[in-house]
A and B are shown apart, each in its own frame.
Chain A
Amino acid sequence: EAGVAQSPRYKIIEKRQSVAFWCNPISGHATLYWYQQILGQGPKLLIQFQNNGVVDDSQLPKDRFSAERLKGVDSTLKIQPAKLEDSAVYLCASSPMGGGSGYTFGSGTRLTVV
């Protein structure tokens, strides 16, 4: 079974620029999550999708962050404009049916904002 795919693997941008991350979940997984992991901390949930609908975006900084999951498969997370404090690893995870069925994480995208 192929895992959760994320790209790019690394990204360096200047502050105030925009950036986008892509995630392809495991085939058939209805639920998709984006997490932000700042160095030295545990991951923090940004947004959860169920198919192509948003279930929870309460911790997403909506003034600069946006996400979509068209057709209920791939997802993109965008930051515009980026700030220095956005430097982090952005992890995507998917699950077939939510928490009890487990979550599979991708390798993440490491963003550095300079």
Chain B
Amino acid sequence: AQSVTQLGSHVSVSEGALVLLRCNYSSSVPPYLFWYVQYPNQGLQLLLKYTSAATLVKGINGFEAEFKKSETSFHLTKPSAHMSDAAEYFCAVSDPLGGGADGLTFGKGTHLIIQP
């Protein structure tokens, strides 16, 4: 069974500061990994995904994440936070070898707060 742990239910950073959202996963096989952002009363928007290609993945809105197999981590970063980045962020994992059953397993989410 797969699982995802997001450290910190709330993260607060100042505008212009580094954003770091932590995600660790548990999987018996190298998984596919995803970061999604959710704004209030909206669906989930894909930020970036790792599907066994380059370990450093660049996404939209200046976000990137690095897959570290030895640490079973997939932390999300952005060099300089903007007010518009305030939202809920979800890390998710799917099993590429699940025999077709590849639904996402999500973490509990991290609420990102941007201080002016």
**Chain A positions near chain B (C-beta within 8 angstroms):** 4, 31, 33, 35, 40-45, 48, 50, 55-56, 91, 93, 95, 98-100, 102-108, 110
Q: How far apart sit A36 and B100, CA to CA, in the bound complex (Å)? A: 20
Q: How far apart sit A99 and B105, CA to CA, in the bound complex (Å)? A: 11
Q: How far apart sit A107 and B41, CA to CA, in the bound complex (Å)? A: 8
Return the chain A residue nearest B42 by Cβ.
A107
Knowing A99-B96, A102-B46 touch, does A43 contact B101 (C-beta < 8 A)? no
Knowing A91-B43, A99-B51, A105-B44 touch, does A48 contact B108 (C-beta < 8 A)? no
Q: How far apart sit A43 and B102, CA to CA, in the bound complex (Å)? A: 14
Is B106 a contact partner of A56 (Cβ separation < 8 A)? Answer: no
Distance in angstroms from B76 CB to nearest chain A CB is 15
Is A91 a contact partner of B44 (Cβ separation < 8 A)? Answer: yes
Chain B residues closer than 8 Å to A107, beta-carbon distance: 42-43
Q: How far apart sit A81 and B8, CA to CA, in the bound complex (Å)? A: 36
Knowing A43-B44, A102-B46, A103-B46 touch, does A48 contact B101 (C-beta < 8 A)? yes
Chain A residues closer than 8 Å to B106, beta-carbon distance: 42-44
**Total inter-chain residue pairs, C-beta < 8 Å:** 64
Max chain A Cβ within 10 angstroms of own Cβ: one of B44, B49, B105, B108: B44
Max chain A Cβ within 10 angstroms of own Cβ: one of B36, B51, B102: B102
> Which residues of chain B (1-59) have a CB below 8 Å from chain A?
4, 32, 34, 36, 41-46, 49, 51
Is A41 a contact partner of B102 (Cβ separation < 8 A)? Answer: no
Chain B residues closer than 8 Å to A104, beta-carbon distance: 46
Q: Does B62 contact A (CB under 8 A)?
A: no
- Further contacts, 4 of them, CB under 8 A, given A4-B43, A99-B96, A105-B44: A35-B104, A45-B104, A50-B100, A55-B100
Return the chain A residue nearest B4 by Cβ.
A42
